[in-house]
Amino acid sequence: GTSLQKAFLRMDEMMCGQRGWRELASLGDNIEKVSGMIEGLI
């Protein structure tokens, strides 16, 4: 149905769109910060 198509389009937007890339980048930044904190503790 159309809802399934919308879901696929939304996934496609997240994968290809700038918003998805920005979310991935911010996630990567958070991971770097956390690993940096862990390195500082060790």
**Residue in the structure block whose two tokens are 């904190």:** 37
Give CA–CA dist 14/21, Å, rounded.
7
What is the DSSP-derived secondary structure letter of residue 17? S
Quote the pLDDT of residue 15.
66
Name the residue range of residue 10's domain. 2-41
Q: How many domains does the chain have?
A: 1
Tens-digit pLDDT profile for the chain (42 aa)?
788 888 887 877 766 667 667 787 888 888 899 899 889 988
